[in-house]
Amino acid sequence: MSTHSLYIMSSIQAVRFGAIIIGDEILSGKRQDAHLSKLISLLSERGLSLSWAEYLGDERPQIVATLKRTMASNDAVFCFGGIGATPDDQTRQAAAEASGLPISRHPGAVAEIEARFGESAYPKRVLMADFPLHANLIPNPVNRVPGFSLAQHYFMPGFPEMAWPMTEWILDTHYRHLFHQHTLHESSILVFDAGESQLLDLMGEITSRYPAIKLSSLPRLDQRRTIELGVRGSKADTGQAMQHIQAALDSMGYPWQTAGVA
């Protein structure tokens, strides 16, 4: 498989985890996204992995269409950005539209915002308590303005200092039963003097014979044609698949060396 896509192969787990990162400032380059790498790290620490990620601008129709599609799945989705009260923040309204629910002022969110800001919660800050009807709160340990969850989608601010502890709370509260259920192993080698096209048949043979593993292919743009070929899965499967790959490469006459084992 090529790694040119934003889609990241997941490990074998009971729930697929996805990410939606929202904000024109990310797409314009005014800010650099840090959510994707942090989410991957937080999941990995718990023996979980990310299956996919998408970036969206602050355009309600696009957000609505994306959420309708992802809400139709059983995926758990972490959504970062766009839940503030300024006109460019469209995520709360888009989540309501995608789920066919009205926007409703959440009493618990109002209480949190009032506790943090007192009378200055009105008339504007309290707008951040307007969520899709039936949404549940995600506590915000930084300024008490909560996020919300709906249909296994978790909506958080774009600010990393708020979103990341909120993400940890979500994982530790709702998905602890999935932690470290599967011990995954990764093994990779560097293959020299070969292009991906010359290894496609071998890759297809490996994925067919070992359907439980994930195979990756990462070409390197160096003077000597080099491909990092890797497998990920159970210890037994990755070991057998890598032995198969190495024997095939030897028979094909392509030199290789070990790149890493985890």
Give the lowest-confidence range in 43-57, 113-127, 132-146, 211-225.
Answer: 211-225
Kindly give the residue spans of alpha helices, DSSP state H, lying in the chain. 24-28, 35-45, 60-71, 91-99, 107-117, 160-174, 196-209, 235-252
CATH node for 17-178:
3.40.980.10
Residue 235, pLDDT score: 86
Is the pLDDT reported for residue 209 higher than 90? Answer: yes
DSSP run (H or E) holding 67: helix 60-71
Angle between helices 60-71 and 91-99 (to 10 degrees): 50
How many residues are there in the chain? 262
Strand partners, 56: 22
Angle between helices 235-252 and 196-209 (to 10 degrees): 140
Is the pLDDT reported for residue 74 higher than 90? Answer: yes
Q: Please state the rounded mean pLDDT for residues 115-132.
A: 97
Residue 260, pLDDT score: 60
State the fold for domain 185-261.
Alpha-Beta Plaits (3.30.70)
Mean pLDDT estimate for the chain: 92
Amino acid at 180: H
Closest by Cα among 14, 78, 84 to 52: 78
End-to-end CA distance of the chain: 19
CA–CA gap between residue 115 and residue 241 (Å, rounded) = 57
What predicted TM-score, i.e. pTM, was given to this entire model? 0.80
List pLDDT tens digits, range 211-232.
989 999 999 887 788 999 999 8
Is the pLDDT reported for residue 6 higher than 80? Answer: no
Is the pLDDT reported for residue 202 higher than 50? Answer: yes
DSSP 240-258: HHHHHHHHHHHHHT--EEE
CA–CA gap between residue 156 and residue 142 (Å, rounded) = 12
CA–CA gap between residue 18 and residue 8 (Å, rounded) = 9
**Domain ranges across the chain:** 17-178, 185-261
Is the pLDDT reported for residue 190 higher than 60? Answer: yes
